[in-house]
Amino acid sequence: MSERLMLRDLSTSEGAAAFRAAMRLLVGNVSVITAGAGRDRSGLVVISMVSLSADPPKVIACVNRSSSTWPLIERFGHFGVSSLGPQHQQVAERFSGFGGIKGADRYEGADWITLATGASLLEDAVAVFDCRLDEMIDRGSHSIVIGSVAAVGTRDSGGALTYWRGGYRALAA
């Protein structure tokens, strides 16, 4: 016997919690968005990066405007996206702010490269996207960040790091 669908009215006081609980049931690829340079850099984890267009190549990601990364994307005009594999859970935790790690300190413990724009990209990521900022569209608490992809890199390592039910999970090929 299957469990019944739990319906919630989002106009109630429990609406925001119900929405977050529903979103945790969607499986998402874990990526790190990086912005800035030197000690003036930060980054965050997203599960909301997708292709917008193949010709020309463009991606979109949703970034919280209250994050330390948002103003760096706006100021520097570029950002990097590194799609994580199962071996990168520690990187995901650092860029999620576990243990209070902030800013440039999030980059410690991993090797980073730059391609066309100067954005930091995880050297052993499954895929990397080096992006020039096209536009930031504010909606609610987040901005839809649109980037033109200047360079890509891939390493088919046979797996991906996903986020589901409030935790990181390995997805094997």
| Total number of domains constituting the chain | 1
Residues in the chain: 173
Strand 40-46 vs strand 78-83: parallel, antiparallel, or unpaired? unpaired
Residue 20 is assigned to a structural domain of this protein: no
- For the chain, how many helices (H) and strands (E)? 3, 12
User: What CATH number does residue 126 fall under?
Assistant: 2.30.110.10
Structure tokens belonging to residue 59: 């991606």
pLDDT tens by residue, 96-146: 988 899 999 999 999 999 999 999 999 999 999 999 999 999 999 999 999
Domain-embedded: residue 19: no
Is residue 36 assigned to a domain? Answer: yes
Does residue 50 belong to any structural domain of this protein?
yes
> Domain of 165?
28-172
Instruction: Note whether residue 17 is domain-resident.
Output: no
Cα R_g (the chain), whole angstroms: 17
| Residue whose C-alpha is closest to residue 137's, from 76, 78, 83, 61 | 61
Q: Is residue 93 part of a domain?
A: yes
Does some domain include residue 52?
yes
Per-residue model confidence as pLDDT tens digits over 24-52: 888 899 999 999 999 999 999 999 899 99
Please indicate, yes or no, if residue 3 is contained in any of the structural domains: no
